[in-house]
Amino acid sequence: MRPQDASLLGELFEHGLSPAARRQRFHAAVRCLSPVQLAWLANADFRCHAAFIVTRQAGGLEHAVAEGCWVRSGGTADAEFAMSVADAWQHQGIGQHLLHTLVCTARAQGIGSLQGDVLAGNLAMQALAGSQQFDCKPHPDDDHLLRATLALAPQPVLSAAWFH
Ligand SMILES: CC(C)(COP(=O)(O)OP(=O)(O)OC[C@H]1O[C@@H](n2cnc3c(N)ncnc32)[C@H](O)[C@@H]1OP(=O)(O)O)[C@@H](O)C(=O)NCCC(=O)NCCS
């Protein structure tokens, strides 16, 4: 994801995701993100914060169909991830590819473990995380959430060129 992708990201959240999917992504009744929130998400440095967007071309225009990110938790070797795939593009393996990308890039940047908070009723994300060896356990602070965790073995740091 590049800073100029912020508007594509906004379009995905507002028009590509149903209210239920947005609740699963943000754990709240969000309709759209503010320009400041979108700019922050799209401004990844790929060291403490990595963000990826999947787009397609249609009618000469680019549209976002999926997004995912991880953000290093302040002062620790761990990072939190979140992701979403537009309703119309689910069940086609995009989520699988995106989560694999999040795992590989986090590992390559020396992240020790990747964690994601998942609503207890979000069976799709639980199955997807489980299929990539994440361990889903009850959240320590919230009965409505599960915490999906994957410990990452260290790998050589990727060059910045890999992300472009
Ligand atoms: C969870 C989500 C990202 C999955 O994306 P996707 O592109 O549909 O996933 P894939 O097609 O790659 O499916 C991967 C696996 O996930 C599981 N899965 C996906 N959808 C599922 C569903 N509705 N029910 C149960 N399992 C499901 C399956 O194990 C599937 O593997 P399979 O196709 O071999 O059976 C998508 O449903 C989504 O964006 N949901 C709303 C936002 C969200 O929940 N974000 C997570 C917050 S961190």
Instruction: Encode pLDDT of 84-134 as tens digits.
Output: 999 999 999 999 999 999 999 999 999 999 999 999 999 999 999 999 999
Query: What CA–CA distance (Å, rounded) separates 136 from 116?
Result: 9
* Cα–Cα distance, 36 to 124 (Å, whole number): 29
Ligand 1 site-directed mutation target among 17, 122, 125, most atoms within 8 Å of CB: 125
CATH number of the domain at 112, please.
3.40.630.30
Residue 161 domain-assigned (yes or no)? no
**Angle, CA of 153, 159 and 162, to the nearest 5°:** 95
Could you tell me the pLDDT band of residue 158, with boundaries at 50, 70 and 90?
low
| Ligand 1 contacts CB of residue 25 (under 6 A) | yes
Within-domain flag for 43: yes
Within a domain: 132? yes
Structural domain for 137, as ranges? 3-155
- The verdict on residue 162 lying in a domain is no
**If you measure from the C-alpha of residue 128 to the centroid of ligand 1, how many angstroms do you get, rounded to a whole number?**
5
- Nearest atom in ligand 1 to 117's CA: 48
Assigned domain for 163 exists? no
* Residue 53 in domain: yes
pTM, full prediction: 0.92
164 CB-near residues (< 8 Å, 6+ apart): none
Domain assignment present for 15:
yes
Quote the pLDDT of residue 164.
63
Interatomic CA distance for residues 61 and 163, integer angstroms: 23
Of 35, 145, 162, nearest to 108 by C-alpha is 162
Q: Tell me: the pLDDT tens digits for 38-89?
A: 999 999 999 999 999 999 999 999 999 999 999 999 878 999 999 999 999 9
Q: How many domains does the chain have?
A: 1
Is the residue at 164 inside a domain?
A: no
Q: Does residue 155 carry a pLDDT above 80? A: no
